[in-house]
Structure 1
Amino acid sequence: MATSIPIAVRSSIGVSMGLGPPDYKNLDAFTPVISKTCRTMLFSPDGRYFAYVNGQRLHIVKTDNWKDVAVNEGVKAYYLAFSPLGTYLMSWEPFTVSNANPQASPNLHIYKCETGELVKSLIHKKQSNWEPQWSADERVFSRLIGSDITFCEDFNLDKVVYRINSCKIASYTLSPSATGSVYYVLCHILGLPGQPSFGRLFKYPNFENQQAVANKSFFQADKVEYYWNPNGTSALLLTNTEVDKTGGSYYGKQGLHFISTSGEVAIVTLSKEGPIYSVAWSPKGHEFCVVYGFMPARATLYNTKCESVFELGGGPQNSIYYNPFGNILLIGGFGNLRGQIQLWDANSRKLIGTCEAPDSTLLHWSPDGVYFLTATTSPRLRIGNGYKIWHYSGTLIFERPWSQQDELYDVFWKPVPKDTFKEPKISSEKVDGIQPAQPQASKQVYRPPSARNRPTVAFNLHDDTDDLRPGSAKGPSKQALKQRKKRENRKARKQDEKDEDEVEPIPVSDNNVKVSLTGDTEKDKKIKNIKKKLDAIGKLKQQQSQGKTLEVNQVAKIKMEKELLDELSKLQL
């Protein structure tokens, strides 16, 4: 990397600006802000501006010379947000009513970044959904007011040109990119008691229900999170319920749905039960990754047809981070997990590095896609605050611990304009690193005094699972393999006894597939698996004959019936 990328740091002593590799020193052009009341800071999407709130003053800084563009007094903002092109800065502060001001004052303010001029003040009482949404070219400005969405154009905020008020909208999102003047609006519409909710996609400005581009219904959806692909042509909807009434999960119940601007909808089928921890689209837009299931969680790559294309395996993981170019995929386990990280070559599907970053509360990739930053921040963790910089190979190259008297709140890289950097080439060459200053937790298993002079028994809690990662040097233990072989043989003997009088195979009907086993354990396993798939196809065909409209991935399953039947006949020869 020719030049160091700045890193913004907000802590209990103020705001400072450092440099990343290879310099690792303070940015001299930026004067550190010494204050204990800096609530928030933010870079514009292209990195041209840097804003922070110091007490009751909002500072807007131009990053080409790190000088203040404007300082606005009386701003008590808790949150900041920039428009997509960095033309405007929005701030939100709590809505308060007092005896001196019973009508209250506007708490949502919009400033022009170039001059710091306050161009509009609005009222938005709740913290949720406070941030107005813009189209990618900033031509369309929208807000959620109550359960209605209002739209203004060309920043004429005094005139509402369109409105969606025909249904009860809980949340919405605008497509992140525009093709010419085409924009899409995706809404979460709450259903009546006992009725399903909907994800409804509109093409701006055709907002009548019958004009919807696509509809996706789901019953369990107290809240919906949206994940658009970079092109703005497809989106994933992660539905959440606060409580799982079946008692299956402490985290509530979740579902993942797909919807596209071409009208296609589908359910993303997951191969393991449990929570959905993380969802992320590749910046290349051709695939997405999901981490899901009870621990050890699985990580799976899907294509845009919602078909599983690659299993990354299982383990203590709950987070996904693609680098800005989409050629490196980071899978990590943070929060109540140990902080294990695996880095994959997203193109060749190969494991390229591993490391461990315990107690990490945030992670950000550098704009050049070569380095990533992890940090331990307050108030999540008040001990051991600091941040580290890693190479994509998993090598720790820099560490900055915080003093115990101070707290670290936030840290992130300065964004850069698109096309500033080229996609990095992944190399297998080793990178020189450093050892972490923080003592590492012992990985030795605790043994009670009564067992300390006895032979160690090899035991793995997850010996029965197939969740080992591809490319991992560690395989199942000899004892685990031996036990697995015994179980398979025992099951095979029982199945053989059960199927002694099995009739010869008969023609397969829609969902009444009869098979005969061969006695070969591997073949019989495949035969049973195919039978399950054919039975499922039979049910789908029955639903189709009853007039039910099937989804795209369900129709695709039916088309595989002939191929499965051919494979079944070959196995039973």
Structure 2
Amino acid sequence: MERHAPWRKIVVTNLGVEEDSWIMGWNSPSTYQLFGDAFISISQFSNCILDGHHSRPATPITTPWLPPLVGRLKLNLDDSSLGNLGPAGNGGVFLNADDQIVLAYAGPLGTDDSTLAEVNGVLQGMRIFHTHLVGELKVEGDSKNVIGWCRQTSAPPWRFVYLFRDIFSLSTSCVHEWSCIPRVANSIADFLAKEGVHLIDLSKGSKLLMSAMGTLPSLEILAREPEGFSIWSGPPFQNGQPSVKKERVSCTSAKYCENGSRLLVMKNDSTISIYDSHNSAEIKSFEIPSVQATTLSPLGTYLLTFQKASTPQEKNITLWNVLSGTAVYQQFQKNMTKTTWPSIQFSSDEAVACRLATNEIQFFDAADFSKGVIYKLRVPGVAAIELSKSPGSHVAAFVAESKGIPASVQIFSSAKELQAQPLARRSFFRCSTVQLHWNLGASGLLSVAQSDVDKTNQSYYGESKLNYLTTDGTHEGLVPLRKDGPIHDVQWSSSGSEFAVVYGFMPAKATVFDKKCNPLLELGTGPYNTVRWNPKGKFLCLAGFGNLPGDMAFWDYSEKKLLGTTKAECSVTSEWSPNGLYFMTATTAPRLQVDNGIKIFHYNGSLYFKKMFNKLYQADWKPAASEIFGDINELIKAVGTLKIEDSKQVQGSKPSQASMKTASTPVQKPSAYRPPHVKQAVSVQQELLGGSGASEEMSKNALRNKKRREKQKEKKAADAAAAPDMFPTNSSTFSKDLTEYYYIDTAEVADKAIPSALKTRC
């Protein structure tokens, strides 16, 4: 090997994700990697590093280094830049309580100034942790300003706010301490960061024989059949089919916690198992007789169970610590309904916990449930509550209508000292139930008020109204909708700055509003009752499921344009993948006993994958923080440019006024006589579904044109299937993502790769 070979600046890689990817397998020092035109072993990588450009002797560390607590990890991270605005890189090392290296990494950050590189380095460290590791984490760095911003003891500059939003979203579930340390105690991270700077040269002219998607965080799908659940790899699939990551396990139900770190499995009516979703290993098993409802807390720390009580003295609500298996809190509850379950609500970071009780809301110390209820908020007549998720700073309470007093939705602070008066309140008559939807940031609340009876006699199913309240009290009122009828669905975008509503009598109307209830985008009308934002907030899907025919329309909200339309008939569930690129629908039992299966669509509506089952009970994506997948535009480039069907039709109309109705049929010859009542039935169907009624006999020319269009579509599909590999091979496409990072994951390799002088701690 020549001294000046182009790969001499690479740290080393020994972290595996998939076979044939550019990252090698776990604990496999005999594995070889195809890089350039030669196979390079790990030992050769190490020799390259030690023979590299770091000729200056390292300074021994004289500052004491303290290991993390048992069961926790410590991340030391740093950045490096050549000039205040120049090539930058970052690096970090994860160590356990025995001072052993669990994982080390180094990679480029592009062109950054020193402070921006430091902030980007923290964000990359969080992404790498969520991609490859689990547990609790202590983070150490030598930048006093950045660590202070992470601690939230001071506010970051405005130009870093968008980065810290992602940092806080990823760190709240795992980081228990941020610590600023002297630079001499951070020498390993400093060494790796300097290596990361020089790795920038790797993206210029080097021949990388790798799959660009091989290093991105992988998606997973949970499918539950009568025999039990199994876990598959998510798209993109190798050879067009998913691989099985966990073989079938017998169960009656399965559900991930909110952040996807743990999986709750009901094996029978008394056996509950908790799995670590990172390695599919069983963490704990509980034997709880006659359990009727179960759920995990957002981070998987606690298991909440409900059993039917035989006597009022029996405490049938139990909160269990998953790791220890001990009961940390118990309470009696007479009945359990959808409104009152889960009986204990948590914020997404598990920092706040509360429960609904008679005429009051009870709050707990989420870190120590042995203290019991620490304070109570008196709300007479409260019937339902909703704690804001991120952050858990506010709680919404619904008080039902009683004795001529109107129903109301009220917002309170979660802090005891600020609970004297509600921060916002909205009262209304004719309301029996509500749906409460908090936005990200807990600054706004959408309330769908539903009554069982429509006194205007326009609907058999009652009436509904959409109200909007803000925590600062600037808005308390109805959302100004432009069509009469029910509220079918409403959802906030991931930014928390806008929300989409599907409303009105069929064909329903869809509109996107900002936080001041000003309309931003009209999505047209059609047979829709469902709206789904993707986790990145860029795409959204309008759909008509349930008793509607399954029409779907995919929109690019950023570009304000329709991408494509398709159908998924008889769908029971639907959701975007965590990376925001795929949309999965499922037809499941017991809602439907036939035609069970799943369909996965690209973000533009084109069908990517379809699989049928004799009987399917459940199909879910494994939850994951969308921030770990990087920028959505870079992900789109990674999977290639996909053709948008019917693009000519979309370009011919204004996006803000695009109608979802099907194209009118060509002029036809006179047909046989039909009675007036038949014609009226067809017109009613057109009005309800927004499309054509019963199919009529087509003219010969129309039939010929239809066949020609179908052949053209088949030819396009065949050409697309025969197209070259969609994955780019230039790693610069993934700037500031995880594809350019090089890893060490064994102490043996780390000892060779990192100079021993840097590891002296005394």
TM over 0.5: yes
Identity %: 33
How do 1:422-571 residues align onto structure 2 when only pairs under 5 Å count?
422-425=630-633, 429-430=641-642, 451=671, 461=683
Q: Does 1:126 align with 2:335?
A: yes
Instruction: Work out whether residues 43 and 50 of structure 1, in 8 Å CA contact, stay in contact via their aligned partners in 2.
Output: yes
How do 1:125-204 residues align onto structure 2 when only pairs under 5 Å count?
125-128=334-337, 129-131=340-342, 132-153=344-365, 154-178=367-391, 183-204=393-414
1:201 is displaced (CA, Å) by 1.1
Instruction: Work out whether residues 586 and 619 of structure 2, in 8 Å CA contact, stay in contact via their aligned partners in 1.
Output: yes
Question: Aligned to 1:46, which of 224, 241, 259?
Answer: 259
1:25 is displaced (CA, Å) by 3.1
In structure 2, how many angstroms separate the alpha carbons of the residues matched to 1:414 and 1:208? Answer: 37
Any idea what SS the aligned residue of 2:617 has?
Answer: strand
* CA pair 19-432 structure 1, distance change in 2 beyond 3 A: farther
1:111 maps to 320
Instruction: Work out whether residues 69 and 115 of structure 1, in 8 Å CA contact, stay in contact via their aligned partners in 2.
Output: no
Question: Aligned to 1:348, which of 553, 559, 576?
Answer: 559
Instruction: Work out whether residues 309 and 315 of structure 2, in 8 Å CA contact, stay in contact via their aligned partners in 1.
Output: no
Any idea what SS the aligned residue of 1:211 has?
Answer: coil
Q: Does 1:59 align with 2:267?
A: no
* CA pair 432-213 structure 1, distance change in 2 beyond 3 A: closer
2:242 maps to 25
In structure 1, how many angstroms separate the alpha carbons of the residues matched to 2:499 and 2:353? Answer: 29
Question: Aligned to 2:433, which of 190, 198, 223?
Answer: 223
2:621 maps to 413
Question: Aligned to 2:445, which of 227, 235, 238?
Answer: 235
* CA pair 208-250 structure 1, distance change in 2 beyond 3 A: farther
1:382 maps to 593
1:252 maps to 462
1:146 is displaced (CA, Å) by 2.8
1:548 maps to none
Where does structure 2 lack aligned partners over 5 or more consecutive residues? Answer: 1-212, 646-662, 692-762
1:301 is displaced (CA, Å) by 1.0
Question: Aligned to 2:510, which of 288, 299, 306?
Answer: 299
1:430 is displaced (CA, Å) by 3.0
2:229 maps to 15
* CA pair 202-444 structure 1, distance change in 2 beyond 3 A: closer
In structure 1, how many angstroms separate the alpha carbons of the residues matched to 2:417 and 2:374? Answer: 12
In structure 1, how many angstroms separate the alpha carbons of the residues matched to 2:441 and 2:480? Answer: 23
Q: Does 1:332 align with 2:543?
A: yes
Q: Does 1:5 align with 2:219?
A: yes
Instruction: Work out whether residues 92 and 107 of structure 1, in 8 Å CA contact, stay in contact via their aligned partners in 2.
Output: yes
2:573 maps to 362
1:92 maps to 306
Moved more, 45-54 or 76-85: 76-85
In structure 2, how many angstroms separate the alpha carbons of the residues matched to 1:451 and 1:147? Answer: 67
Q: Does 1:273 align with 2:484?
A: yes
1:468 is displaced (CA, Å) by 8.2
In structure 2, how many angstroms separate the alpha carbons of the residues matched to 1:76 and 1:408? Answer: 25
Post-superposition CA distance 1:9-57 (Å, at most 9, x none): 12222111112211433434x24213xxx33211122221111101121
1:545 maps to none
1:109 is displaced (CA, Å) by 2.5
Instruction: Work out whether residues 53 and 77 of structure 1, in 8 Å CA contact, stay in contact via their aligned partners in 2.
Output: no
Post-superposition CA distance 1:98-145 (Å, at most 9, x none): xxxx45743323222334443333332322212111234323321112
Instruction: Work out whether residues 290 and 299 of structure 1, in 8 Å CA contact, stay in contact via their aligned partners in 2.
Output: yes
1:61 is displaced (CA, Å) by 0.6
* CA pair 74-31 structure 1, distance change in 2 beyond 3 A: farther
Any idea what SS the aligned residue of 1:419 has?
Answer: helix
In structure 2, how many angstroms separate the alpha carbons of the residues matched to 1:390 and 1:287? Answer: 24
In structure 2, how many angstroms separate the alpha carbons of the residues matched to 1:326 and 1:463? Answer: 34
Q: Which structure shows the higher helix fraction?
A: 2
1:543 maps to none
Q: What letter matches 1:190 in structure 2?
A: A
1:72 maps to 286
In structure 1, how many angstroms separate the alpha carbons of the residues matched to 2:370 and 2:664? Answer: 63
Instruction: Work out whether residues 166 and 208 of structure 1, in 8 Å CA contact, stay in contact via their aligned partners in 2.
Output: no
Q: What letter matches 1:255 in structure 2?
A: K
In structure 2, how many angstroms separate the alpha carbons of the residues matched to 1:234 and 1:451? Answer: 56
1:534 maps to none
Moved more, 419-428 or 337-346: 419-428
Instruction: Work out whether residues 39 and 78 of structure 1, in 8 Å CA contact, stay in contact via their aligned partners in 2.
Output: no
TM-score (norm 1): 0.71
Post-superposition CA distance 1:311-331 (Å, at most 9, x none): 111110000001111100100
Post-superposition CA distance 1:239-261 (Å, at most 9, x none): 01112133221221111111111
* CA pair 459-408 structure 1, distance change in 2 beyond 3 A: closer
Q: Does 1:319 align with 2:530?
A: yes
Any idea what SS the aligned residue of 2:373 has?
Answer: coil
Instruction: Work out whether residues 46 and 418 of structure 1, in 8 Å CA contact, stay in contact via their aligned partners in 2.
Output: no
In structure 1, how many angstroms separate the alpha carbons of the residues matched to 2:334 and 2:643? Answer: 51
1:4 is displaced (CA, Å) by 4.0
In structure 1, how many angstroms separate the alpha carbons of the residues matched to 2:685 and 2:462? Answer: 28
* CA pair 463-5 structure 1, distance change in 2 beyond 3 A: closer
Quick one: higher RCO (CA 8 Å, sep 6+), 1 or 2?
2
Instruction: Work out whether residues 6 and 27 of structure 1, in 8 Å CA contact, stay in contact via their aligned partners in 2.
Output: no
What is the number of equivalent residue pairs in this alignment? 440
1:516 maps to none
Post-superposition CA distance 1:164-213 (Å, at most 9, x none): 234110111112223xxx72121112243222111111123358986221
1:373 maps to 584
* CA pair 386-196 structure 1, distance change in 2 beyond 3 A: same
In structure 1, how many angstroms separate the alpha carbons of the residues matched to 2:402 and 2:607? Answer: 53
* CA pair 134-74 structure 1, distance change in 2 beyond 3 A: closer
Moved more, 132-141 or 63-72: 132-141
Where does structure 1 lack aligned partners over 5 or more consecutive residues? Answer: 434-442, 470-573
CA RMSD of aligned residues (A): 3.2
Q: What letter matches 2:621 in structure 1?
A: W
In structure 2, how many angstroms separate the alpha carbons of the residues matched to 1:300 and 1:309? Answer: 8
In structure 2, how many angstroms separate the alpha carbons of the residues matched to 1:207 and 1:242? Answer: 38
